[in-house]
Structure 1
Amino acid sequence: MPATAIDLDTLPGHHIRRLHQIAVAVFLQETEDHGITPVQFAALQAVANTPGLDQRSLAARIGLDTSTLANVVDRLETRGWMQRNASPEDKRVRLLTLTHEGEQLLAGVLPDMQRAQERILAPLPKAERKEFMRMLRTLVDANNELSRAPSTSQ
């Protein structure tokens, strides 16, 4: 093996990238009837959890840069699932709420999203799933500031 050869199988980043690809694929398979992406789901769920959230806070909560988040919100608004409302305190700030259609979509997609999460964890014995999630959160929390868009949901 050449001196510069590295076994990709020993690199956590390689496996994390692959797991991300798999997680997105499984999510899209399970939710295909709804036509929603994982990022759109995260945005909708965060706004459902905190109605009236502003766009900057939403971006920070789900770990997206503000320009990407603006594009996501544009798509959600175009589809009639989310709406922007001017803040009474500052007309430049847009507060986000789900429309009735957005609430219905979210309620309908939740079982499919849960099934996707279960499929992702299915190869692990049930006794190890909580520990895996604990370790995953530890890695994300400890490395959050290294992200191009650190999350404030820690």
Structure 2
Amino acid sequence: MEEPLRRGREQPPVDAAPPADLVAAPGYGARRMYQAYLAAWNRHVDPVLTGPQFAVLSAIRAYPASDQSSLAGAVALDTSTMADVCRRMERRGLISRTESPRDARRKILSLTADGTVALEGVTRRTRRLDQELLAAVPEERRTEIAGLLNTLGAHWEAVAEREGLGDPA
């Protein structure tokens, strides 16, 4: 019979694997991948410019003279987060935000010269990271896997918007 734990005594550290039910949960895998992605981004791409900021810069380049709210959906940010991200990048001199001539509430976004230079450098490093992240996947399946991740992302966003999932039977 094992002696019960006494106050002040703790179990020695163990090198425990995650429980099987946790490993089987897609959310656990997604969170693990996201944490690893953030660590890889900070080390190999840019410790200051974030992934969402990179996405916004890329969207501005792809859709010049678009408004902030319209681009929020394209980069999977809610409008308040998009506004915060854009304010930070404007303070850093990477983008400019101007009022729309037709609607002063709308902010039109454009890249500055510094933003263009930053985007070019970060894009090169991001593509190298993308290649490395998918290196465990056969080259002919990498586009398929990236597409599957985006399909799952869209589905998970839709699930998050549902009122309720109901109780399992």
TM-score (norm 1): 0.84
d(CA) in 2 for partners of 1:107, 1:37: 15
Question: Equivalent of 1:83, from 96, 109, 118?
Answer: 96
| Alignment partner, residue 135 of structure 2 | 122
Q: Does 1:141 align with 2:141?
A: no
| CA distance, structure 2, for counterparts of residue 119 and residue 147 of structure 1 | 30
- Which of 21, 45, 70 is 1:31 aligned to? 45
- Does the CA-based 8 Å contact 2:46-2:122 persist in structure 1? no
1:99-150 per-residue CA deviation (whole Å, 9 max, x = no partner) reads 01101111111110111111211122323323322322322233332346xx
Assess if the C-alpha contact under 8 Å between 2:64 and 2:110 holds in 1.
yes
Runs of 4+ in 1 over 4 A off after TM superposition: none
Q: Which structure would you say has the larger Rg?
A: 2
Shift of 1:80: 0.2
More helix by share: 1
* Length, aligned pairs only: 143
Structure 2 unaligned segments of length 5 or more: list them.
Answer: 1-18, 162-169
Q: Does 1:69 align with 2:82?
A: yes
TM-score for both structures, normalised by structure 2: 0.77
Partner of 1:83, secondary structure, is: strand
**Percent same amino acid among aligned pairs?**
36
Specify which structure has the bigger relative contact order, considering alpha-carbon pairs within 8 angstroms and separated by 6 or more residues: 1
Cα root mean square deviation, aligned:
1.8
Q: Is 2:119 the counterpart of 1:106?
A: yes
Partner of 1:42: 55
